[in-house]
Chain A
């Protein structure tokens, strides 16, 4: 039996209660919406790019603890990173939350994001953990319509 504490780690609960970078970026040059209608999770991710560099990243919206904490911690880890660094981190994050790789012993450093490795024990919650990341990807790619990780 999976332990609830593996999923609801203190760091995750803390970020869901007090999300970081929870604001609109007025100077954003890219933004995208992520929406999981079945859950009711909906986020907007704002990006301000300087060439390939993520100068500012923030988000707004509502959702479950996992999706909100994931969005919050994503913005923390990506500020000042390049687009390709962000994409690599997403790939790595995705592998870890889907249980295809373990959080430790890998060249790409997940850092604090490793707390989401418990999600892999809860397959129905993977879509929550990756919603903000898919939204980020949509913003980077300039996708107009809202993205979803359901279905």
Chain B
């Protein structure tokens, strides 16, 4: 009998693996070719999913397939390929519509990213609605993408940015949030899941509170969509934003959902082709939804790739994914918090996918380098959420963020890696 030498990064299945029924981890991992590579001589352990997630083969194939078979510009050609490309693009929109449970496909606007979606709303809805002395309400756990667009707007309009506080566990203080909803509040913008803390906000409740005062709500779902099922109809949110690349799709494509009545009343964001129905030098008539907000040739292959990512995720089942990730996060929380000198940042009772921590006497950047040398990819720094860092009195944190392709063994490697940090620093 010949023995095949195992490479150090070969997957060793553990006998007592606790897996959610119907979730075949081995098969899922095989769908992500990028994971099959060494990093600094170790098997790659990718725990930086909140920064960007990897793409299954189905997404890579869809993008390649689009360029190989369907590529043409949309909505303008009368020819065969243009029709096909248009159909691919519009089918992607319908898949996103179903994914978010939006009422109409025309309420789905393709943008570059969640960041662009938020800027779009600030620069169109916000610019029309906000006047001097009006207010925009956000929370203390927002990342820069859901702070800066509103700051720019408030500066221009001499309006005020109000910030609902969070408690020491990293949970939004809902009573304070409610207290800050006033007669001058023109829009509320809240993250569904915090990228730095992992806290899941009670968005349905927040939307009800705001709507009771007739204030529209934008939900930044960049960190939520990869991990929880989102239903914009049930939530009754007015706008919902997310990025393709965090939900296993390509970079450069994102989505803004908006209620049709609001989108219809909003001025366009950018001018150009596709967003018009007629142009003369005297007057331009804007196109109907969703095209009014999609100036220029959009990221066609990006939309096609996003569709493939959503279909892949649907195939796994969002509830299955959420259950498995919850198991992993609970396990990771146990393993990491038992290491002496480690303090978790963000211990909300409802959390998704993110484990932020600091270590006594060791800067997160040093933790990041030492883990990287063991093949473990995490993020260190302020996670584009500097106000969150300030709230917890730290300059930075180390953040491990999980996806459904991560394993329990990888969490063990993370814990061992953090122990190694202790050894180096003594």
A4 to B394 alpha-carbon distance, docked (Å): 25
Q: Is B369 engaged at the interface, CB distance under 8 Å to the other chain?
A: yes
Across the interface, name the chain A residue whose C-beta is closest to B365: A64
Q: Is A111 engaged at the interface, CB distance under 8 Å to the other chain?
A: no
User: How many A residues are at the interface, by size bracket?
Assistant: 20 to 34
B363, B381, B394, B425, most chain A CB atoms within 10 A: B363
Q: Are A63 and B363 in contact (CB under 8 A)?
A: yes
Interface mask (A63-88 → B, CB under 8 Å = 1, otherwise 0): 11110100000000000000000000
Chain B stretch 337-395: residues in CB contact (< 8 A) with chain A:
361-366, 369-370, 373, 380-382, 386, 389, 394-395
Q: Are B41 and A7 in contact (CB under 8 A)?
A: no
Q: Which of A34-42, A93-101, A132-140 is the interface stretch?
A: A34-42
Q: Are B396 and A4 in contact (CB under 8 A)?
A: no
Q: Are B395 and A62 in contact (CB under 8 A)?
A: yes
- Please give the distance in Å from A104's CB to the nearest CB on chain B: 25
User: How many B residues are at the interface, by size bracket?
Assistant: 20 to 34
Chain B stretch 378-426: residues in CB contact (< 8 A) with chain A:
380-382, 386, 389, 394-396, 424-426
Q: Is B40 engaged at the interface, CB distance under 8 Å to the other chain?
A: yes
A42 to B425 alpha-carbon distance, docked (Å): 21
Q: Are A17 and B370 in contact (CB under 8 A)?
A: no
Query: Which chain B residues border A38 with CB–CB below 8 Å?
Result: 381-382
Interface mask (B291-324 → A, CB under 8 Å = 1, otherwise 0): 0000000000000000000000000000000000
Instruction: Name the contact of B369 in the complex, choosing from A37, A42, A62, A124 (C-beta under 8 A).
Output: A124
Q: Are B373 and A1 in contact (CB under 8 A)?
A: yes
What are 12 pairs between A and B in contact, CB < 8 Å? A4-B370, A5-B424, A7-B369, A8-B366, A13-B424, A39-B365, A39-B396, A40-B365, A40-B389, A64-B363, A64-B364, A65-B362
Closest 5 pairs between A and B when the two form their complex, measured CB to CB: A40-B395, A40-B396, A64-B363, A64-B365, A1-B41
